[in-house]
Chain A
């Protein structure tokens, strides 16, 4: 059977730089769309959620938007970096393990070889978002004249009002909290410490509570029902500090959960009351969007269970470490 094609298939443009891409988007406005891996756009076109636009502005050809680089105070990820590129990147594995775990469970390897982190973020419901929220990521947006850094949390809060804008996500910046570079004095401002596949043994990390979990009807293919991420430091005394809790999944816009964060902050990880209080706080604070397959209540219970289990596992791991340390 011969496949039929729409006679007006989109024209594809290959801008040389971000300015050119932005000008094309401004000029073609609603008749155009930026395209990165195209995996989400294709899904929308096939499901009828959106029609293919008349002009596709490919971001793949713009130099400098792909790859992971380690800087003195942050990890920088180009928006055109594929999810597979992050999943197998050693610097990302070391300095942003939550994000690597998220990339490991988004879709399947073949989709991840095309799909970009920029497309995942721009969708506003991508499964990388809770991990990036917990990592306090900033987004670098090119707005036609300059590039501005916007905290992810602030961008998500205002994202709806920006729909249709020509702003182009160039990079994601993840601060290296709790990591001190031994060679800091040798590192000049902005110097890249990491490039390619080798990681330099430049730092040490404070003890961390760090977990990312995704629950879906199928592990690999379907949008998640619930996605949770939690990150915090564990002091020498065993107390939690700088805790960040985030959740999303499905059509729920990912957000930070402040009530569970304040329940955890400053508490001893070994505190017997902690898990119960955390469960209650997540259940009360998380306000997911339900659908015919997974209702709101189910999603709230799932998020509460996932985050409580993450803290429980961390506490158990620490207790084990202490036991083995004292013998």
Chain B
């Protein structure tokens, strides 16, 4: 090993990240999954635990604005980065809802609600990237989110409605 520039292995495991706008330092194993950091260390239970192998999307969060499965992401991969969970989606100042949340309520985009936090995160990421998505783009964006209840009809309607609501709110602004 090059003595002057030895590879870093933090002696006391402390990872600093930004969760929903707040700087937090988490002192636990760097390979711990983000899902368990959020739920067990930070008591944020919005991201759901289900398959735990990246296949259902219930644990979806945004990492630097892009959707990732919190059950696949390890804490060390979030160092210095921004994590947004379902708890941080709504505008903090007004106490209202994000247009995507509003659309899911209006259009009945959920039944039991277990998939809903993950769905909303994926839809938010989609609309931030493509404000007016095609059917194909919606299908691709939601291909990592499974819903056992709705048959997806209400969810697709919610995406369309959220796109409209976002357009309305940006033209009002």
A interface, CB within 8 angstroms of B: 2-3, 5, 9-16, 19-21, 23-24, 27, 38-39, 42-43, 46-47, 52, 56-58, 60, 84, 104, 107-111, 113-114, 219-221
Closest to B57 in A: A110
Q: Are B54 and A107 in touch, CB under 8 angstroms?
A: yes
Chain B residues whose CB sits within 8 angstroms of the CB of A104 once the complex forms: 140
The count of A-to-B residue pairs whose CB atoms sit within 8 angstroms is: 98
> Which residues of B1-45 have CB atoms within 8 Å of chain A's CB atoms?
1-2, 5-9, 29-32, 36, 40
Contact among A5, A23, A57, A111 for B54, CB-based, below 8 A: A111
- Bound together, the chains give a CA A42 to CA B2 distance in angstroms of 30
Chain B residues whose CB sits within 8 angstroms of the CB of A3 once the complex forms: 36, 40
Q: Are A113 and B7 in touch, CB under 8 angstroms?
A: no
Interface centre among A11, A43, A104, A111 (most CB of B within 10 A): A111
B interface, CB within 8 angstroms of A: 1-2, 5-9, 29-32, 36, 40, 52-55, 57, 60, 63, 66-69, 72-74, 76-77, 122, 125, 140-141, 143-145
Chain A residues whose CB sits within 8 angstroms of the CB of B77 once the complex forms: 38, 60, 114
Q: A16 with B140: in contact, given A38-B72, A60-B77, A109-B67 (CB under 8 Å)?
A: no
Interface centre among A38, A108, A111 (most CB of B within 10 A): A108
Q: A13 with B31: in contact, given A46-B52, A114-B73 (CB under 8 Å)?
A: no
Q: A9 with B122: in contact, given A14-B8, A46-B53 (CB under 8 Å)?
A: no
Other than the given A46-B52, A110-B57, A113-B67, 19 more pairs (CB < 8 A) read A5-B29, A9-B29, A9-B31, A9-B32, A12-B31, A13-B9, A14-B8, A16-B5, A19-B2, A20-B1, A21-B7, A27-B1, A42-B53, A42-B72, A107-B144, A109-B141, A110-B54, A113-B63, A114-B68
Q: Are B30 and A12 in touch, CB under 8 angstroms?
A: yes
Chain A residues whose CB sits within 8 angstroms of the CB of B54 once the complex forms: 39, 42-43, 107, 110-111
- Bound together, the chains give a CA A62 to CA B8 distance in angstroms of 12
Contact among B9, B53, B66 for A12, CB-based, below 8 A: B9
- Bound together, the chains give a CA A43 to CA B1 distance in angstroms of 31
Chain A residues whose CB sits within 8 angstroms of the CB of B5 once the complex forms: 16, 20
Q: List 13 A-B contacts (CB under 8 A).
A: A3-B36, A11-B9, A12-B31, A13-B7, A13-B8, A23-B1, A24-B1, A58-B76, A104-B140, A108-B143, A111-B69, A111-B72, A114-B68
Interface centre among A13, A19, A21 (most CB of B within 10 A): A13
Question: Closest 4 interchain pairs by CB?
Answer: A108-B144, A9-B29, A220-B143, A15-B7
Q: Are A16 and B7 in touch, CB under 8 angstroms?
A: yes
Closest to A43 in B: B53
- Bound together, the chains give a CA A84 to CA B72 distance in angstroms of 16
- Bound together, the chains give a CA A252 to CA B9 distance in angstroms of 37
Q: Are B7 and A110 in touch, CB under 8 angstroms?
A: no
Closest to B118 in A: A110
Closest to B5 in A: A16
Closest to B64 in A: A113
- Bound together, the chains give a CA A10 to CA B56 distance in angstroms of 26
Contact among A12, A15, A23, A114 for B72, CB-based, below 8 A: A114
- Bound together, the chains give a CA A52 to CA B6 distance in angstroms of 23
Interface centre among A2, A38, A113 (most CB of B within 10 A): A113
Chain B residues whose CB sits within 8 angstroms of the CB of A42 once the complex forms: 53-54, 72
Chain B residues whose CB sits within 8 angstroms of the CB of A23 once the complex forms: 1-2
Q: Are A220 and B144 in touch, CB under 8 angstroms?
A: yes
- Bound together, the chains give a CA A219 to CA B136 distance in angstroms of 13
Chain A residues whose CB sits within 8 angstroms of the CB of B76 once the complex forms: 12, 58
- Bound together, the chains give a CA A104 to CA B73 distance in angstroms of 20
Q: A5 with B66: in contact, given A39-B54, A110-B54, A111-B54 (CB under 8 Å)?
A: no
Chain B nearest Cβ from A144, distance in angstroms: 13
Chain B nearest Cβ from A234, distance in angstroms: 27
Chain A residues whose CB sits within 8 angstroms of the CB of B63 once the complex forms: 113
Q: Are B72 and A2 in touch, CB under 8 angstroms?
A: no
Closest to B61 in A: A110
- Bound together, the chains give a CA A9 to CA B68 distance in angstroms of 22
Closest to A221 in B: B55
Chain A nearest Cβ from B103, distance in angstroms: 20
Q: Are A24 and B7 in touch, CB under 8 angstroms?
A: yes
Chain B nearest Cβ from A218, distance in angstroms: 9
Closest to A220 in B: B143
